[in-house]
Amino acid sequence: MVWRNCWCKYSVTKGQTIEKRKRKRNGTVIEMKGFDINKLPATEDDIDYSDLEIEYSQTFLESGLDNVVLVDNLPVVDEAKEPKLVALLKKITKGVGKILEDGVHMPMGEEKGKRKSKGYAFIEFETADQAQDAIKELNGYRLDKSHTLMVNHFMDVEKYSRVPEEFVVPPKTEFVAKEHMKYWLLDELSRDQLCTLADQNITALWNNGGKVVETILTRKDWTETYLQWSTQGTYLMTMHRQGVVLWGGSSWNKIMRFVHLGVRLVDTSPQETYIITYSNEPLRVEAVNDVLGAGNEHLNPFTEADEGNHFCVWETQTGRLLRTFGYVTNDNGEPVTKFSWPCFKWSATENYLARMTPGSKISIYEAPQMTMVGKKSLNVPGVAGFDWRPNDDIKTRTRKNQDTIAYWFPEVDNQPGRVTIMTVPTMEILRTKNMISVKDISLHWNPTGDLLCAKVLRYTKSKKSVLTNLEIFRVSERDIPSEIVEVKGGVVAFAWEPQSPNHRFAIIHVDSADLNPPPINSSGMATAAVKSNVSFYQFVRSKSKLSVKESFVLLKTLEKKNTTSIYWSPKGRYIVLATLRTISVWDLEFWDLDAEVSGVSKAEAATASIQLLKQTEHYGVTDLEWDPSGRYVLTTASSWRHSMENGYVIWDFKGEQLLKSLQEKFKQALWRPRPPSLLSDSAKAKIRKNLSSYSSDFDEQDRVAASAANTEQINLRRRLISEWSSWRQTCSARIKAISDSAAKLGYVELKPIEQDQEVIEEIVEELIDETVEFV
Amino acid sequence: MRPILLKGHTRPITQIKYNREGDLLFTVAKDMVVNAWYAHNGERLGTFDGHKGSVWSIAVDSSSTLLATGSADNTAKIWRIRDGKCLETLEFNAAVRKVEFSTDDKYLSVMLDNHMGQKSEIFVYRVVRSGSGSSEVYRMVRPNVAEHGRATVQAWAYYNKYIIVGHVDGTVCQYEFSPSDQQQSGSLKLLKSKKIHNDEITDLQFSADRSYFITSSKDKTANLVDVETLDILKIYKSDTSLNTAALVAKKDYIVVGGGQAASEVTTTGARQGKFEARFFHMIFEHEIGRVKGHFGPINTLSVEPNGLGYSSGGEDGFVRIHYFDDDYFGYKYDY
């Protein structure tokens, strides 16, 4: 064995490339690429293995203790309680491996005359693998509130003990000021940014009033697949084979890199503190090492425990890997590889991260430790969907220091289906509602978190057709009252109006016969349009002397549309009804829900003020997005879906087309999101009240900008014209010279045509019919 | 702008040309017919019958007495316009792709296609007129021009100084033409060549003084090129492959036409084909407007020599004559 070690060492010392080096526990080398047979040393004496002896002397010594683990952070107990603690240790390790006879050894020491344990113990397992499992399972195990176990390999103790006792002050690194990560919010004109991906180029743009976009920068091959903004717009995320890269600041430099080979999907938490990546390739530590290159193994965040996992949770600012996850497993123990993204959902406070195992449980983890809340998953037989309450800020919280989650499960056997609203981490159930004949439920939280709509698709009694109940819970009110809105047929889309005082919402509903989605071609375009209706509802509280009537009432139904998607302006009031991803219809309808109307009774005002602003179309439209300010709408026709007139169009909220840009292989355009406003509601109301005083300033700004653009254009044109005329002058000089020499050769120049034109108009009369009448 | 629709061909139009005054329009198509039309009202003046294959090219001399046509039946013919009589038939061993009169009508250049491994060639003929407008022709030079792949277009530069040839790989070549003293023979010498497009050059038309020219290409761009240096002066970008480009007389505009080739047309309707004629400002390079109407790609464009209008011929077999509206002439650019 020593001999083999030497060769391994030799190849290292001679500086040859070690592409791959694997060492088994006993120290044998099984792979030695880069080993050069032509450069063997002459004699054995030529080999210097003094350093090897140092390095491996301990390895040989310790190799027998592979199956021993050190459990630290145990409670300090006296002799009386010692057997009890040992028994407890045996109990919690029961699942992971078999402990040898007398395998638990807890050193005791004298303290104030009493024999007490030292707060740690050694456990000897049957095999090294069991010890490995124990570390994986029990490290970070919470025994009780003040004792979280730390489990390590006994062999590693030596390594840790070698850490010098004396603290050496690390050298001070120069302070490097970071760029302003939110610089784009400081723009004097409050413009919004957008990024486009066409062919292989990502272009970042300022939106100058919709009609003009100003290029900030363009980079080729910036992403390998697609681009995505982080939740609040701080980072631009690009996808690469090796992982995800975050860019930001005014220089658009690399901010952070997350190594995850073959990454497919990425998601950031509501406040961007965490980022989750998904790859369909199982994690392999070796593969990551290969990518990082020789000598950079210490940068590899993954350990053997992460092998085979697919999801990684990272801390955005430090780039630290918090935890990896595999697929959830179903009842048969098979991994569930189909899921809807994001399958890990963050609570609004970012304190908790939850994932559902369809049909059995919800696992809730506490960030950033990533330990499971309540040590085990929440068992919910049959669970089919869940969602966190958004905007869970302290003022509107249902319970102090608690996040709120809602989930549902369908009816199983004779058990009715149920929607449950629950707090986390106390798991206090706030409200449940049983439901029967349920086909499907989807949960829609109002953006303010005040309301939860459970969209319940139900069978009618005959089971032949369907109807939809919108079960709306008012979560911020006492006892969480709920109302039901019944809709015939199926509701295919539901959207709350953001920032709406009367809790308005819009739905798309179709007849039962049309409930099945239309056929879809290979690139995800529907090949037929479906007739659908759009309805608007709002909450009305009418007080009479006897009672208070609270209900959601229908305002208006727009019938026989082809609408597939509804998009509220982020500021409310305006809504776009769009037919997206359909190969024959590309309708866009811009509606105003608070149009000023006169001459109608107060009761009818809400209905009458729903007015169509503009009906238009964007040929081949596949995606639609409002800008964060609610002033512009961006529609795109992506080459991922089809190759017809790919590009984007910017509209204003009234539906006027401001800009159309067609680009080869255009793929994606996304507005840069903005973080929530820091102004209080009262400050916003004040601004709204004094809007006219601000608007004169803006008008002036627009005028200046327009005239500047005009002069710039005119200057450019003047320059081009003068360049052209100077070129023409050199040209005519040239022609003059040639014509003289050509004339000598007998070239006869054509005489110019005389410009006297004569228009001859001819009137032709044709006798079509002749009738003779006798009077 | 109301176009005059000419329905005189049954197959795709290959080339159309105005005479020097702009009162006559000559059209040729793959249906072997050569038509002459009154440009003012679209009335047909007559046909020139005799070709037995697709007619690829047409040229009219400056006095509107002679007409030259080149055809896939391996012949080029010279006709008397007045009565439609065929005066000469020149026979070759390959299809004739382009014919063109020199600026002083003295010479006729005939460009042949690649054929059976034989490379493209250019023949220059001296046209000798007798008093009644008939002609005799003498062959003068015959260079091989296929270094850059098949030659697709050719045209005479000012004072018969050069013949410019465009190739299938996007290269233009400048050949110096020098006749002998007796003008019975001559030579074509390659002076310059430059790759100005990334794909096949589909059309090449000169400015009025023949000091610069415009090329169109399948690479979706049209270029304005200096005849002396072959430098690109301006680039006009469109979103479809272009079949033709022309300079608009009297105004600083250019017009291009093209569209998805028939083999690439999808089933999504005319909108996708991009069959419009597009006008650009020649100096500012930005698009001014589009004229739609054809339901197939535009194969050829020709501008009325006085700048009063233009005509287009399409894959759909129609020729459309357009006269510009009054507001076209009234519009002034700010600068």
pLDDT in tens, B162-182: 999 999 999 999 998 888 777
**CB B228 to CB A718 under 8 A?**
no
CA angle in degrees (0–180, nearest 5) for B158-B163-B169: 130
B221 touches chain A (CB under 8 A): no
Task: Pick from A144-158, A244-258, A531-545 the range whose average pLDDT is largest.
Answer: A244-258
B158 touches chain A (CB under 8 A): yes
**CB B272 to CB A645 under 8 A?**
yes
Nearest to B334 among A714, A739, A745 (CB): A714
Residues B100 and B109: beta-carbon distance below 8 Å: yes
Task: Pick from A23-32, A305-314, A764-773 the range whose average pLDDT is largest.
Answer: A305-314
Q: Which chain A residue's Cα is nearest to B21? A: A753
Nearest to A738 among B158, B179, B283 (CB): B158
Distance (Å, whole) CA A602 – CA B89: 89
Distance in Å, alpha carbon of A591 to nearest chain B alpha carbon = 28
Spell out which residues of chain A touch residue B283, defining contact as CB-CB under 8 Å: 717, 720-721, 724
pLDDT number for residue A750: 74
Q: Residue A266's pLDDT band (boundaries 50, 70, 90)?
A: very high
Nearest to A738 among B62, B161, B179 (CB): B161
Distance (Å, whole) CA A454 – CA A442: 6
Question: Which of B226, B159, B103 lies closest to A730, judged by CA?
Answer: B226
**CB B271 to CB A619 under 8 A?**
yes
β-partners of residue A215 are A205
- For residue A270, is the peptide bond before it cis, meaning its omega torsion is within 30 degrees of 0? no
Q: What is the mean pLDDT of residues A530-547?
A: 87
Joined together, the tokens standing for residue B101 give 């009169």
Distance (Å, whole) CA A307 – CA A294: 20
C-alpha distances (whole Å) from B277 to each of A611, B246, B280, B294, B310 are 39, 11, 10, 9, 10
Distance (Å, whole) CA A381 – CA A361: 6
**In this predicted model, what pLDDT tens digit does every residue of B196-242 receive, in sequence order?**
999 999 999 999 889 999 999 999 999 999 999 999 999 999 988 99
Residues A53 and A149: beta-carbon distance below 8 Å: no
pLDDT number for residue A204: 94
CA-CA-CA-CA dihedral for A614, A617, A621, A627, to nearest 10:
-20
pLDDT number for residue A53: 66
Distance (Å, whole) CA A209 – CA A192: 9
Mean pLDDT of chain A: 84
Distance (Å, whole) CA B245 – CA B222: 7
**CB B103 to CB A750 under 8 A?**
yes
Question: How many CA atoms lie less than 13 Å away from A761 in the CB half-sphere?
Answer: 1
Q: Is B96 exposed, middle or buried (0-12, 13-18, 19+ CB in 10 A)?
A: buried
Spell out which residues of chain A touch residue B226, defining contact as CB-CB under 8 Å: 731
Helix (H) or strand (E) holding A639: none
Please state the φ and ψ torsions of residue A108, each to the nearest 5 degrees. -115, 150
Residues composing chain A? 775
Strand ranges of the sheet holding B122-129, from the earlier edge strand across to the other edge: B96-101, B107-112, B122-129, B135-141
Spell out which residues of chain B touch residue A619, defining contact as CB-CB under 8 Å: 271
Nearest to A718 among B20, B158, B335 (CB): B335
pLDDT number for residue A151: 84
Spell out which residues of chain A touch residue B334, defining contact as CB-CB under 8 Å: 714, 717
Q: What is the mean pLDDT of residues A286-294?
A: 86
DSSP state of A683: H
β-partners of residue B136 are B128
CA angle in degrees (0–180, nearest 5) for B182-B186-B187: 160
B62 touches chain A (CB under 8 A): yes
What are the sequence ranges of the domains in chain A?
2-64, 66-161, 223-342
Q: What is the mean pLDDT of residues A228-257?
A: 93
**CB A644 to CB B268 under 8 A?**
yes
**CB B160 to CB A747 under 8 A?**
yes
Task: Pick from A65-69, A355-359, A373-377 the range whose average pLDDT is largest.
Answer: A355-359
Q: Which residue bears the tokens 């997005």?
A: A625
Amino acid at A469: N
B21 touches chain A (CB under 8 A): yes
Q: What is the mean pLDDT of residues A622-644?
A: 93
Strand ranges of the sheet holding B13-18, from the earlier edge strand across to the other edge: B13-18, B24-29, B34-38, B44-48
Distance (Å, whole) CA A765 – CA A767: 7
Residues B118 and B103: beta-carbon distance below 8 Å: no
Q: Which CATH class is domain B10-243?
A: mainly beta
Question: How many CA atoms lie less than 13 Å away from A762 in the CB half-sphere?
Answer: 4
CA pseudo-torsion sign A25, A26, A27, A28: negative
CA pseudo-torsion sign A700, A702, A704, A706: negative
Distance (Å, whole) CA A722 – CA A719: 5
Q: Which residues contact A259 (CB under 8 A, 6 or more apart)?
A: A242, A243, A288, A291, A292, A299, A300, A301
Own/partner pairs for A365-370, CB < 8 Å, 24+ apart? A365/A323, A366/A425, A367/A273, A367/A274, A367/A313, A367/A322, A368/A274, A368/A315, A368/A322, A369/A140, A370/A313, A370/A322, A370/A323
Distance (Å, whole) CA A431 – CA A452: 12
Distance (Å, whole) CA A680 – CA A393: 14
pLDDT number for residue A568: 95
Distance (Å, whole) CA A641 – CA A525: 7
CA angle in degrees (0–180, nearest 5) for B238-B240-B242: 85
Mutation site for A-interface testing, chosen from B24, B211, B287 by largest number of A Cβ within 10 Å:
B211
Radius of gyration of chain B (CA): 19
Instruction: Give the 3-state secondary structure percentages of chain B, helix then strand then coil, rounded to 5.
Output: 5, 50, 45
**CB A714 to CB B228 under 8 A?**
no
**In this predicted model, what pLDDT tens digit does every residue of A371-420 receive, in sequence order?**
888 888 888 888 999 999 987 565 555 566 788 899 999 888 788 889 99
Joined together, the tokens standing for residue A257 give 């890199």
More confident residue, B75 or A131: B75
pLDDT number for residue A235: 94
Residues B158 and B209: beta-carbon distance below 8 Å: yes
**In this predicted model, what pLDDT tens digit does every residue of A134-148 receive, in sequence order?**
887 778 788 787 888
β-partners of residue B108 are B101, B125
Residues composing chain B? 335
For chain A, what percent of residues have pLDDT higher than 70? Answer: 90
Q: What is the mean pLDDT of residues A189-205?
A: 92
Q: Residue A228's pLDDT band (boundaries 50, 70, 90)?
A: very high
Spell out which residues of chain B touch residue A727, defining contact as CB-CB under 8 Å: 233
Residues A410 and A438: beta-carbon distance below 8 Å: yes
Mutation site for B-interface testing, chosen from A618, A720, A732, A754 by largest number of B Cβ within 10 Å:
A720
pLDDT number for residue B133: 60
β-partners of residue A625 are A634
Distance (Å, whole) CA B213 – CA B244: 12
Distance in Å, alpha carbon of A525 to nearest chain B alpha carbon = 14
Q: What is the mean pLDDT of residues A198-215?
A: 90
For chain A, what percent of residues have pLDDT higher than 90? Answer: 34
Nearest to B104 among A662, A727, A748 (CB): A748
pLDDT number for residue A541: 85
Q: Which residue bears the tokens 């350990």?
A: A303
pLDDT number for residue A756: 67
Q: What is the mean pLDDT of residues B137-161?
A: 82
Instruction: For domain A66-161, give its CATH number from 3.30.70.330, 3.40.630.30, 3.30.450.20, 3.40.50.800.
Output: 3.30.70.330
Task: Pick from A50-54, A544-548, B293-297 the range whose average pLDDT is largest.
Answer: B293-297
Spell out which residues of chain A touch residue B158, defining contact as CB-CB under 8 Å: 735, 738
More confident residue, B138 or B75: B75
CA pseudo-torsion sign B80, B81, B85, B88: positive
Distance in Å, alpha carbon of A228 to nearest chain B alpha carbon = 28
Distance (Å, whole) CA A64 – CA A128: 10
pLDDT number for residue A588: 94
Please state the φ and ψ torsions of residue A543, each to the nearest 5 degrees. -105, 125
B228 touches chain A (CB under 8 A): yes
**CB A644 to CB B334 under 8 A?**
no
C-alpha distances (whole Å) from A490 to each of A399, A436, A464, A506 are 35, 16, 13, 14
Joined together, the tokens standing for residue A342 give 């994001």
Spell out which residues of chain B touch residue A646, defining contact as CB-CB under 8 Å: none
Spell out which residues of chain A touch residue B161, defining contact as CB-CB under 8 Å: 738, 742
Nearest to B211 among A720, A731, A750 (CB): A731
Whether pLDDT at A746 is above 80: no
Distance (Å, whole) CA A235 – CA A181: 8
Q: Residue A57's pLDDT band (boundaries 50, 70, 90)?
A: low
Joined together, the tokens standing for residue A732 give 């005519």
**In this predicted model, what pLDDT tens digit does every residue of B87-132 receive, in sequence order?**
889 998 889 999 999 988 888 999 998 877 778 888 888 888 876 6
**CB A747 to CB B161 under 8 A?**
no
Question: Which of B225, B114, B113 lies closest to B162, judged by CA?
Answer: B225
**In this predicted model, what pLDDT tens digit does every residue of A88-130 receive, in sequence order?**
888 877 777 788 777 788 888 777 777 888 888 888 888 888 8
Q: Which residue bears the tokens 């020789």?
A: A294
Radius of gyration of chain A (CA): 36
pLDDT number for residue B202: 94
Spell out which residues of chain B touch residue A714, defining contact as CB-CB under 8 Å: 334-335
**In this predicted model, what pLDDT tens digit does every residue of A153-174 receive, in sequence order?**
877 777 777 777 888 888 888 8
